[in-house]
Chains A and B, each alone.
Chain A
Amino acid sequence: MASDKIIKSRFFFEDEVEEKLAEVPTEEPDSWQADEKLAKVGKPYSRIDGYDKVSGTARYAFDMHLPNMAQAKTLRCPLAHARIKGIDTRKAEKLSGVLAVLTHRNTPEIKWYGTSFLFDTHLRYEGDEVACVIAETESIAEQAIKLINVDYEELDHVVDAKEAMQDSAPKLYDSGNIRNGEPGTYSRGEVEKGFAQADTVIEDTYRTQIAIHNPTEVHCSVVNWDGDRLTVWDSTQGIFRVRDGVANSLNIPLNSVRVIKKYMGGGFGSKLEAGKYTVMAALAAKQIGRPVRITLDRKEMNLAVGNRPDSVQTLKGGVKKDGTLTALFHHSYGAIGAHPSNAQCSWPLKSMYKCDNVKVEEYSVYINAGRARPFRAPGHVQGFFALESLLDDLAEKINMDPLEFRLKNYADKDQVYNIPYTSKVLREAYQKGADAIGWQNRSEKPGSGRGPVKRGIGMSSQIWWGGGGPPAYATLKLNRDGTLRVIAGTQDIGTGTYTFMAQVAAEALELPMEKVEVILGDTAVAPYCGASGGSTTAPSVSPAVRNAAENMKAKLISGAAAHLEVPESQLTYQKGMVNHKTNTDKSIAIDQLVREMGEQVMVSIGKRGANPEGYMINTFGAQFADVQVDTETGKIRVNKIVAAHDIGRVLNVKTLENQMHGGVIQGLSFALMEERVIDRYTGKVVTFNMHDYKMPTIMDMPDIEMFIVSGGDPKISSTGVKGVGEPAMIPTPAAIANAVYNAIGVRIKQLPMTPDKVLNALYR
C-alpha cells in the first residue's frame, strides 16, 4: 500500500481558518461523480440510532448514573461586575450531605479563556463561577450553595457594546474593552473611488440581538477517576477538544483522560469546548474519591455557556444604474461578553457578491455578560440580515428586481482570495426558489396590498464554507461473520452522523446496511476527528470512511490471493465477495476469508484526503419567504419558506430534511422572537428561563419547501460532500425581513421583528 504523507491543512471551521498538520492518503479512490448513481448514499435511511431515541434507552450525559455518584452544583456571581473580598464556606460544609466545597482558595490556579482562571476573584459577569458544591444529592448541593457567604465588592458594570467602547466606561481589562485594542479590518480595491463611480449610494444601520443556544439538554458531565485515569461523559460537540482542555487544566497526560459522548441533546455551537463545570467536577471527584455528576440549570444555560453576539452594523453600498455594485463598506461592533470571543459579521459582505471595492472595520467589545461562542453560522446570520436588507433597498432605488440585482452581481470566483470555487450552483437555486415561491407574483410596490393584513415575498442568498478537510480518520473492523464496525472520533450531535457513516461504509463495501454498526464519540477507542461545528463533520469524515473501506478491500484482495493462491491482479471485490476475474471456482466470501485468516477482526484505517490547492470550497443557497403582517397588531406570520441550496452531495435525504427544517426554524426564531435581554442598570439577565426567552413551538412553523440543486462535488473529496447544518439557517432572517418590507413598505432594521417594532415602524 502506498505510504501516506503529512500536509499542512487549512480550512474554515466556523468563521475562522483552522490550520493543522494532517496525515492524508497519497492514493484515493476516484471521486464519486456529480450524478453518480449510488446504492446507499443519498437514500432516505432512517436513523440507525432511532430505536435508542424513541424507546428512551438512549443514555445522554444527563442520564449517566454511576454507583456511589455525588452531585455538584455551581455558585455563580449574582452581580454583573464584582471582586471577591472574602468567602466563608463553613456553614455550607457543615450541612449534612455536603462532601466538598471548591473555591479559588482551595483549588489550583487554572488558567481559563487566556484572561482569567477557573475560579477568578475578579468576577466579570452575572454567572461567573464562584464556588462548586459537591453533595449527596442535587438538592442538598443547591441548599448548600445558599449557605456560602461571599463578601462581594461591587464594581461598576457595562452591558452595552456602544457604552463599553467609550473611554469613560468601566473596564473589564486593564487594556480596555475593545478586544485587541483595535478593530478587525479588511479592504480590497478603493472604496472611495467605488462610491464615486456609483449612481446611487445608500447608508444605513442595522441591529441584531444577542441570542442563546438553549439546546434542550443542558451542559453536563459525569466524571469518574480510576486512580490517575479520568473518564468523562460529557454533552459535547468535540470529544477531543474536551479531552485536551480537561487534561491541560488538570495538568495530566492526554492518555489519562477518556471522553465519551454517545448521545447529546443539541449544542448549536455552545458545546464546542471543555467546560469549567467538567474540570470542577473532576477536581471534586478526585478529592472525594467518588464519581461526580455536574449539571447546569436553565438559568445557568442562559447566563454562562455562550451566545450569539449582537451587532450594530452600518453598511454603505454604491450601485450603478445598470445594477453593478461599485463599493461596499461595513462598520460594526458587537458585544462578546466578558471573555475573548469574536463578533465579526462582515463575511457575507466580503464574499457573497462580486464587488471590487470593499472596506470593513469591525469591533469585538467586552461587556459584563456571559461570553459569546459560535452559534450556528456565527457572523453570517447577522451579517446577511444587514447586507440583504441593504441590497433590496439599493435594488429598489435603481428600479431593479431584487433577484435580477443579485444575478447581476453574481460572483464567479472567491472575492477575498481571488481563487475559483470548486463548485457553485447558485443560479439554479435562485431559479428553483423563485419558481416555488411564486416570485413573478410578488408585488413590485411594497406595502401596496389592501386590508390590514398585508402579504409580502422576499429572498436572501447565502454563502458558507462547510468544505471541511483533514485531519479526519476512521477505522473499520470486519468481523468473522462479515459484519462491519465503523469507528471514528467524531460525534453525532443529532445531525445523523451515525447513519451516514454506515451508509458510506455500506456503499463502498457493497454491504447491506444491517451489517454495519458505528461507534463514535469515544476518545479512547476512536481515531481523531475534529469537533462537530462549522458544517464540517460530513465533508470531513465521510471521505475518511470511504478511504478506509477501499483499504479494507485491498486487504481482502490480498488475503484472498494468498488463500486462493492466485495473483492479486486476478481478483476483484464485489458485494462481500472476492472473485476471480475468469475462474468462478476461485472466489471467497469475506466472512469466510476472515475466518480462514484466523483473525477475530480485520482492521483498516482511512484518512480524509487533502482539499484541492488553489480552490475555495463554499456552500451556496437562496431562501425565499412568504409572510403576512398584521398592521393592526404588528404580528408577523411566516407562511412559507423555500430553501434551495448547493451543498454538494446529499448523504441522506431524511436527515438532510431535519437539518434544513431545523435551520429554517432557528432562523425564523432569530428573525421574530429570540432575544436575551439584560437590564442595563443591574447588569442582570432578565430572560433566563424558557418562559421569558422565547423559542418557537410547532405553532410558529411555516410550510417549508426544500430543493438541493447540487450533485456531488468531485473536486473536494472522494465523496463530494459539503456541510449543511449552518447554510440552512443563514438566509432565513434576511429573507423574512425583505418579505416584511415587501408587505408593509417600511423597513425594520432591527431584529427580532417583534410586534412593537413593527408597529413603531409603521406608525412612528
Chain B
Amino acid sequence: MHTIINKKQITLSDPMLDKNLLEFIRENLDLTGTKNGCGIGMCGSCMVLVDDKPVQACRKTVRHIVGKKLLTIEGMALADGNLHPLQQAFVDAGAIQCGFCTPGMVLAAHALLLKNNQPSRDQIRKAIHNNLCRCTGYQQIVDAIEQAAHYYRSQRNTSMHTHKIQHTVADSTSQ
C-alpha cells in the first residue's frame, strides 16, 4: 500500500491504517507544520490536502490516504526552499499573527485556487470558513488569497497543468 506525501511515495503497513491521520502526520512523519487546535473538526488547524481536496486530518485515519496524494504545509514551499507565491502572499498581505492557524489556512486557500483561480471574495470566505483564526480579523487573509489568485491564473495562462503548482520539496517523509 502506497501513498504520496508531499510528492514522495511512501509505503504504508497494515497496522498503521487505523491510526489517526493527524497523529500519523505529526508523530510518524514528524511533519509538525500541521497543527492540532481542537481534535474534533472545528478549527481547521489540522487541514491538509488529499488529492487536492481539503481534509481535516484530525477526523480521518491513515486509511483515507491510501493510494492518494497528501499535501501538508511542508510540501508547499518550492524545492529551493523559497515560498510558494500563495505563502508569500500571506506574508506580504500581513495575513499572519501567531501563525498557528496559518498552515491550515494556506492549504484551504490552495485547494480553492487549484479549482478556481478567479474566486470572488465571497467564494474565498466560504473556502476558509472552517478555519478558525483567533488572532487576526480574517480580512488580510482574504486579501492574501485574492492576491495569490493572480499567480494561479498566470500558471493557467502559460497552459501549465494546475498540479504543477505543487512543487516538490526535499523533506524527510520516508519512514
Contacts and interface: CB of A to CB of B under 8 A. Distances in A.
A350 to B, nearest CB: 30
B168 interface: no
Interface in A194-212: none
B32 A65 contact: yes
A214 B30 CA distance: 26
Contacts of A65: 30, 32
A55 B94 CA distance: 15
B86 to A, nearest CB: 9
Interface string B123-139: 00100111111111111
Given A657-B140, A695-B134, 13 more contacts: A46-B94, A54-B88, A54-B106, A56-B73, A59-B32, A215-B100, A216-B45, A265-B98, A661-B138, A690-B37, A697-B130, A698-B129, A704-B137
A660 B97 CA distance: 12
A31 interface: no
A712 B102 CA distance: 32
Interface in B86-101: 87-88, 90-92, 94, 96-101
Interface residues of B, number: 52
A125 interface: no
A56 B103 CA distance: 6
A701 B139 contact: yes
B37 A216 contact: yes
B42 interface: yes
Nearest to A49: B99
Interface of A: 44, 46-47, 49-60, 62-63, 65, 214-218, 263-266, 268, 297-298, 493-496, 654-655, 657-658, 660-662, 664-666, 689-691, 695, 697-699, 701, 704
Instruction: Give the interface SS of chain A, mostly helix, strand, loop or mixed.
Output: loop
A43 to B, nearest CB: 12
B76 A55 contact: yes
B99 A263 contact: yes
A691 B129 CA distance: 14
A51 to B, nearest CB: 6
Nearest to B103: A56
A624 B92 CA distance: 29
What secondary structure prevails in chain B residues at the interface with A? loop
Interface string B104-117: 00100000000000
Contacts of A297: 39
B73 A217 contact: no
A658 B40 contact: no
A494 B132 contact: no
30 contacts: A46-B94, A50-B90, A53-B96, A54-B83, A54-B87, A54-B91, A54-B96, A54-B99, A55-B77, A55-B83, A58-B99, A60-B35, A60-B100, A63-B32, A216-B37, A216-B132, A217-B37, A264-B98, A265-B101, A266-B97, A266-B134, A494-B97, A658-B94, A658-B135, A662-B134, A689-B40, A689-B42, A697-B129, A698-B131, A699-B129
Contacts of B57: none
Contacts of A51: 83, 91
A222 B125 CA distance: 36
